[in-house]
Each structure stands twice: as C-alpha cells, then as structure tokens.
Structure 1
Amino acid sequence: MKRLLAALAALLLAPACLAIGPYVEGEPLPAGELPALMGRLEQRLRDDGFTVVGRHLPPGLPKHGSLVVTDPALTQAARRAGGSAILAAPIRIGVRSDGSVSYTNPGYWGRAYLRGGFDAAEPALQAVRARLAHALGERGAFGGDVPEAELSAYRYMIGMERIDSPRHELNGFASFDEALGTVRANLAQGLGGTSAVYEIVLPEAKLAVIGVAMNDPDSGEGWWAGRIGPDHVAALPYEIYIVDGKVYALYGRYRIALSWPALGMGQFMRIVRAPDLIHATLGRLAGAGTR
C-alpha cells in the first residue's frame, strides 16, 4: 500500500516537476561552408512561413554561425504581453560547419520571456515549434533541464538577477523614437566594436529588440562563448531591447545562465568578467555608462 501511495504521489507531482531544455537539435546537413549551409536553412525556413531577419558569424568562432527568424505568432505574443516579452519575438538557429543544426526551444524561451503571457501564447508557440521541426528536423532538446515552473522567475542561484531585475536598464529617453534612434546611430558607428545583426520593431507598441554582434577579440562573444561552449551558438547574438523610452540589456548573470543552464559555477568563473564587459558595451550603445 505504501508503494502504491508513493507511486500515485509521484504521478500527481510529475507535472509540476517537468523540465525543459533551451535548445532543440535539428537534422544535420552535409558539412560545408557556413554561408552555403545558412542559405539552405534560410530557404527551408521561408518555405515554412518564417521571416529571416538576420545572419550572424561570430568573430572568433569560425566554425559557428546563427540565423535569426521571426513569425507573426511570436510578435503578436510579444505585443500582447508587453515589456521584456519582446525578447520572445526572435528565434535563433545555430549552424556549424560540420553540418550540425540547432534552434532555440520556443517553450523554454517563451516561458522565460512571456511569463504571465505564456499560457495565452502556448498554442501559437507549439505551432511554431512544429513548423521549426518540419523545416529543420527535431532530434530532441539539449543544453540543460530547467523545471518549466521556474522559468518565469529564473535565476541561476540566490543573489543573481531575474528577468525583472532593475540592473537590466541601461538608459532612459523622452520617447521610444529617441531611444531607438540612439541605439541605431551608435550601432551604425560600430561603437564598442559592435554591429547590428537584426532588429524587430513594433512601433505601435513601442517595443523593439536588436541583435548585437560584439566583435572585440578581448571582450566579445568569441572570447566568452568560446570558453563556455560554442556548441550553444543558438544563444547568439546577444540583444538590446527597448520598451517605451527605456533601453535595456539582460545582465549576463541572467542571460548567459539562461542560455547555458547546465554549466557549473567553476565553468562560469572562467568568464567572470563577461557580464560587466557586456553591460558596458551595450551601455555605450544606449548612450550611457555602466550602472
């Protein structure tokens, strides 16, 4: 009887303990040059209704690249939820020269970024996941297991930032247009060794997310992502986002941990300088110093 009760309790508690990974492994392509591989994937994604908004070849990671796509279901979910939910609008696809393909899991990132808006968006996100699987294949999730219920308030460990941390704010402006114009102008100048990868702008909602390549060999993504695992190339590029007149970037102790949740503290200590370096770089794009 005790065993039966224990089994029943486990079944009842299982839904609350479901875990989910940040990435999905796609079907591999034959090895080849990255631009050609990316072109093949772009066509498949377009054929399945996605809009390709960017292509990224991170300096310092010569065998790795990423594509960025979006979809009306994603932008609509971001518009409805508002605020930092704009981060859920892009889907990133990782590509390696050996033909490996991966992509961000909509259920994982949707729970983290849409938060209270996730339940309403879940059917649309499931449809997006199905179309990604059709276009790219689906061999299973990888990259770590985080309980689904924890993602809306995720943090790597006590004392570190969550999605709603005030530390993410970089600068404030009188209007959305001024904020967006400042970031665009600074990216066009390549301030801090940066360049733009993509942008998704919802002007009527005063929301925008812009993918940023950080190209400095000593402090950019080639350095820190190379140290902790470039196989997670679908984590790149990093992004800056705008809500009304405020410019934000997720602080690295949240954004990097969310992207590499399975890494141990010793591995993160190898890039202990990265969160502040990233924040300083993106702060310059926002027209401000670090906070």
Structure 2
Amino acid sequence: MILRWISAWGLLAFSAGVWAVSPYIQGDPVAGGSAQVVAAAVESKLKGGGFKVVGKYFPKTLTGYGVVVATDDAMLNEVGAVGGPAVLGAAIRVGVKADGSVAYTNPDYWYRAYFRKAFDKREAAVKALQTRLQDTLGAGKGQGGDEPPGNLVNYRYMIGMERLDSSKSKLAEYGSFAEALKTVRDNLAKGAGKTAKVYEVVMADRKLAVFGVAMNDAEHNDGDWIKKIDMQNNIAGLPYEIYIVDNEVSSPHGRFRIALAFPDVGMGQFMRISSLPNAIMEAMGSVAGVEKKPSAEAWQQ
C-alpha cells in the first residue's frame, strides 16, 4: 500500500495524463436465478465468441457466486512465447453472481503484470483480446480497485513483499516436464492438501502448464477467506494457481497473487487473512509433491 501510494503520487506529479487500470471489467448482466444458471449463460456467450471454456468453479461456502474459466488460442500463443510465469495468463476468468451480474479479468491489467517487460511488444494482441471480450461479454465500468500501469510491470503490494518472480514461488523440481506434470495431475486428482482441480492448460511443446486450484480445507477455504476481505464481488480473482515451467513446479506467493487480484484491499483487511499466504504455499506444496518435514513435536514423540 505504501509503495503504491508513493508510486501513484510520483506518476501524478510527472504527468497529468496518467491513468489507472482496474483488474476487472463489468460485463452485461444476464438473467439471474443461481450462480450455476448465470455461469451456463456466460459459458454459452464465451463459446459463441470463439473462446474455449476449460472450467467452472463454485466455492463451497460462497453460495451465489462462481467463476467461468476460458482460454483464447491467440493469447495462448503470446503466453507461450513469453514463457516462464507468464503462463499464469493462460486463463481468462469471468466472475458471476446469482443475480445475473458478470465481471471478467481485464487483459490490460493482468497481462501487464504477467508479461512485464514483454508487454509492449504484445500490447496489440492484448487489445485485440480485450475487444473480443467486450464484444462477447460487454464493456462496462472497471471494478476491483486500480493501479497505475507502470506499477504492474514489477508489481508488489508494498516494500519488502514478493513479486511475480520471487524465489519463494518455487515448490519442487523434477527430472522432466512430463514427470512434473504427472505429479501435479495425480496429486490434484487425489485432493492433496485438501485441494481440487478447477482447470488445466498444458502447452506441452513449450513445456508450460498451469492449473486452477480450489482450496477446500476448513480453515482456509476460498469461500470463507474471500468473504473475510469482503471481495466476493470480485470473485474472478479466483481460483488460485500452480504452474509448471520445464521441470519446475511453482505457485505465485500469496502476498503477490492475492494483492494483485484485490488491489483495493487495505492492510487492515489483509491482516484478517494473515495466515493465508503460508497456508496456500503449504497446500500448493502438497500438490507439487513436496514432502512435509516432521515438526519438532513429532521428533519428541
């Protein structure tokens, strides 16, 4: 927050023409009824617009909310070309509410954060995707907060917190991409770390993969923690991800990923979920096949 204030004021002082970017864009509402009904209507729209739907997510303790996840072939080519953690940009997420409300991830926001210095060369592709999404889902107001675009290139919530390329994101390393992929798939299939798979996007030729992961444990389940920070209307920030680059399995650190998804949340709100980043990394570590080390108490028994 402090870093964002400093950066924002610096940019404002530099140019009166500075703008800010929101993480989500409101779409045209559809007929309500239930989150599942609204999601079905959105899925139909996405398919009609040429997108591929790869998953849907309805957090167990958050009745009336859901997410539809899609991909776009043209953008997947750009994601693959950038490589590395940019694979997180493979998914386009659309949040839905039972009342018919729709809001989707803003390409101009998320790809600035994931493509970083490679964004400028791919800005035309990002704008093309944004136009297609607007034509398919509607082009309403931005929501979920905002960030000066310059902040997104090397985003972190405040000084000292993790960035996209933090070394803390790495969870495990295997002998090959195939071994890493099998490990993650197998562990998600058996619910390791009390998780479940929401979607997967695999670019085997690039040795890249990303999975959307639902967190279902009693203490840190997605429906409960997003309510604690009062961000359920920005449900398109979910689900969390685990990704593979070559033979390494990683997951974006919570202090980066949660803050990126919900930039409008204040430090007081984040303190309500202060244990969540470590809980996420532990859960994702289980999915990545990281063996838990015995606690001191266990050694004493």
Band of TM-score, shorter chain: over 0.9
How far 1:290 moved relative to its partner? 7.3
Separation in 2, partners of 1:149, 1:46: 33
Task: Describe the shift of the 1:264–1:282 C-alpha distance in structure 2 as closer, same or farther (beyond 3 A).
Answer: same
Q: Is the 8 A contact 1:170 1:290 kept in 2?
A: no
Q: Indicate the residue corresponding to 1:256 in structure 2.
A: 258
Task: Describe the shift of the 1:27–1:185 C-alpha distance in structure 2 as closer, same or farther (beyond 3 A).
Answer: same
How far 1:101 moved relative to its partner? 0.4
Q: Indicate the residue corresponding to 1:91 in structure 2.
A: 92
Residue 182, structure 1, aligned to residue 177, structure 2: no
Q: Indicate the residue corresponding to 2:19 in structure 1.
A: 18
How far 1:12 moved relative to its partner? 7.4
Deviations 1:156-208 (A, max 9, x none): 00110011110111111111111010000000101122111111101011000
Q: Indicate the residue corresponding to 1:66 in structure 2.
A: 67
Q: Indicate the residue corresponding to 1:31 in structure 2.
A: 32
Separation in 2, partners of 1:226, 1:273: 15
How far 1:10 moved relative to its partner? 7.6
Task: Describe the shift of the 1:37–1:175 C-alpha distance in structure 2 as closer, same or farther (beyond 3 A).
Answer: same
Q: Secondary structure at the match of 1:257?
A: helix
Q: Is the 8 A contact 1:240 1:247 kept in 2?
A: yes
How far 1:217 moved relative to its partner? 2.6
Q: Is the 8 A contact 2:37 2:98 kept in 1?
A: no
Q: Indicate the residue corresponding to 1:44 in structure 2.
A: 45
Q: Indicate the residue corresponding to 1:226 in structure 2.
A: 227
1:38 counterpart letter in structure 2: A
Q: Please, which runs of 5 or more residues in structure 2 have no aligned partner? A: 1-10, 294-301
How far 1:99 moved relative to its partner? 1.0
Q: Is the 8 A contact 1:77 1:117 kept in 2?
A: no
Please identify, of 28-37 and 245-254, the stretch whose mean Cα deviation from structure 2 is larger: 28-37
2:240 counterpart letter in structure 1: Y
Q: Indicate the residue corresponding to 2:249 in structure 1.
A: 247
Of the candidates 288, 296, 300, which is equivalent to residue 286 of structure 1?
288
1:113 counterpart letter in structure 2: Y
Separation in 2, partners of 1:170, 1:12: 40
Residue 198, structure 1, aligned to residue 233, structure 2: no
Q: Secondary structure at the match of 1:261?
A: coil
Separation in 2, partners of 1:153, 1:59: 33
Q: Please, which runs of 5 or more residues in structure 1 have no aligned partner? A: 1-8
Deviations 1:40-97 (A, max 9, x none): 1111111111010101111111111000001012111111111011111110000011
2:287 counterpart letter in structure 1: L
Separation in 2, partners of 1:10, 1:264: 21
How far 1:24 moved relative to its partner? 0.4
Separation in 1, partners of 2:286, 2:164: 21
Separation in 1, partners of 2:42, 2:12: 42
Separation in 2, partners of 1:194, 1:161: 23
Residue 237, structure 1, aligned to residue 239, structure 2: yes
Normalised by the length of structure 1, the TM-score is: 0.93
Q: Secondary structure at the match of 1:19?
A: coil
Q: Secondary structure at the match of 1:284?
A: helix
Separation in 1, partners of 2:20, 2:217: 36
How far 1:14 moved relative to its partner? 3.9
Q: Indicate the residue corresponding to 1:276 in structure 2.
A: 278
Q: Indicate the residue corresponding to 1:5 in structure 2.
A: none
The percent identity for this pair of structures is 47
Separation in 1, partners of 2:187, 2:77: 28
Separation in 1, partners of 2:16, 2:209: 37
Separation in 2, partners of 1:163, 1:290: 25
Q: Is the 8 A contact 1:179 1:246 kept in 2?
A: yes
How far 1:11 moved relative to its partner? 10
Q: Is the 8 A contact 2:198 2:211 kept in 1?
A: yes
Q: Indicate the residue corresponding to 1:4 in structure 2.
A: none
Q: Indicate the residue corresponding to 1:6 in structure 2.
A: none
Please identify, of 33-42 and 160-169, the stretch whose mean Cα deviation from structure 2 is larger: 33-42
Deviations 1:95-117 (A, max 9, x none): 01111100000010000001122
1:201 counterpart letter in structure 2: V
Separation in 2, partners of 1:87, 1:47: 24
Residue 54, structure 1, aligned to residue 88, structure 2: no
RMSD: 1.7
Task: Describe the shift of the 1:85–1:273 C-alpha distance in structure 2 as closer, same or farther (beyond 3 A).
Answer: same
Q: Secondary structure at the match of 2:61?
A: coil
1:262 counterpart letter in structure 2: D
